[in-house]
Structure 1
Amino acid sequence: MNLLKEIYEKHIGISKKIDDINYKIRKAARTILLDESGKIAILYVSKDNYHKLPGGGIEEEENIIEALKREVSEEVGTDIEVLGEVGTIIEYRDEFKQLQISYCYYSKVKGEIGKPNYTEEEINSGFKLNWMSIEEAIDSLEKDEPYNYMGKFIKERDKTFLKEFIDKGIKLNN
């Protein structure tokens, strides 16, 4: 999978520098998920005022695709068919001493869309599932002003994934 970008604090407007960081690695899977009408799933995190693509951390016993399918089932309430790769982004989250590697795919809904099954943390963060055009999703991300550190990274990361998807001219046949 192609590396699209490395995101550092300077990319999200933070100029402080911490020397000699020993990063803990976190790997995650994400997707640009299209429904039969061509709209994509976007989660709004109301507590921290940003949008994000469905997906999350890869657990120790999972491969990337297994984690992606589990996360989408939890956050969107549906099964998916993975159609291809978008790319990889590495985030250097100095404040958390975390190096996050996100693998992004594009996929389509497989079967019915049920209800999300959010974790307590996601409920407390105000997760809300929306379906919108990819252009509306990019516009929403560009207008977002996240209240927290992590949201600023997520905004930059997911905006990059969506723009790469458009730049690749990926056409989906449902």
Structure 2
Amino acid sequence: MELLAEIKEPDLILAEVREYREAARAVLFDERGLIPLLYVSKYRFHKLPGGGIEPGENRVEALIREAREEVGSAVEITGELGKVVEYRAADFQQTSYCFTGKILSKGTPDFTEREIAHGFQLVWMSLEEAIATVNQDKALNREGWFIRQRDLVFLTACKNGKDKRQGC
């Protein structure tokens, strides 16, 4: 998958990676062309659905599970946008793989206790609205800063037609 960006804090001096995480994320379209975002009200930022790849899962399996949990939806993965590598600390690296897809059915999210505590809310908007919303976010924590940078790369890649098959 094509590398779209590397994100690190200014002046961060990288060390040997001691902790590595892989995650799958998606820009998913419903029948009206709207996409789901998760609003993290406790820290005031929005994020694309997705999350960590668990042992024994591949990227697509992880994304299908995450979409079911966070969006309450069955999805069909239709293409790839690319990956973003984040260096959140001198020795921590996360690689997020982003896909495009279609919402096949809508249900109710099944948020974890942590997600509930962070005030997760599911919101639907157009791709253009999502870009503007994420761009205006002023996250109250460091994680939100990274998520904003990462998800803007993915949303912009979709807008710029990175994945022609989906029509983003």
Partner of 2:8: 8
Shift of 1:20: 3.0
2:158 is paired with a residue whose SS is: helix
Q: Are positions 1:148 and 2:148 aligned together?
A: no
Q: Are positions 1:79 and 2:74 aligned together?
A: yes
Does the Cα contact within 8 Å between 2:77 and 2:100 map onto a contact in 1?
Answer: yes
Shift of 1:19: 5.6
1:114 is paired with a residue whose SS is: coil
Shift of 1:66: 0.5
Q: Are positions 1:116 and 2:112 aligned together?
A: no
2:78 is paired with a residue whose SS is: strand
| Identity rate, percent | 47
Partner of 1:68: 63
Partner of 1:90: 85
Q: Are positions 1:106 and 2:100 aligned together?
A: yes
Q: Are positions 1:56 and 2:54 aligned together?
A: no
Matches within 5 A, 1:35-50: 35-50=30-45
Distance 2:158 2:14 in 1: 35
Shift of 1:171: 6.2
Distance 2:2 2:13 in 1: 28
Cα distance 1:147–1:61, how it changes in 2: closer, same or farther (>3 A)? same
Partner of 1:25: 20
- TM-score if structure 2 supplies the norm length? 0.94
Instruction: Give unmatched runs, 5+ long, in structure 1.
Output: none
Which runs of structure 1 show a deviation greater than 4 angstroms over 4 or more consecutive aligned residues? none
Distance 1:50 1:79 in 2: 24
Partner of 2:158: 165
Does the Cα contact within 8 Å between 2:7 and 2:87 map onto a contact in 1?
Answer: yes
Amino acid at match of 1:147: L
RMSD: 1.5
1:56 is paired with a residue whose SS is: strand
Does the Cα contact within 8 Å between 1:21 and 1:94 map onto a contact in 2?
Answer: no
- TM-score if structure 1 supplies the norm length? 0.91
Cα deviation per residue 1:146-170 (whole Å; 9 max; x = unaligned)?
Answer: 0111100000000110001111264
Distance 1:140 1:94 in 2: 26
Distance 1:23 1:162 in 2: 29
Count of residue pairs the alignment pairs up = 166
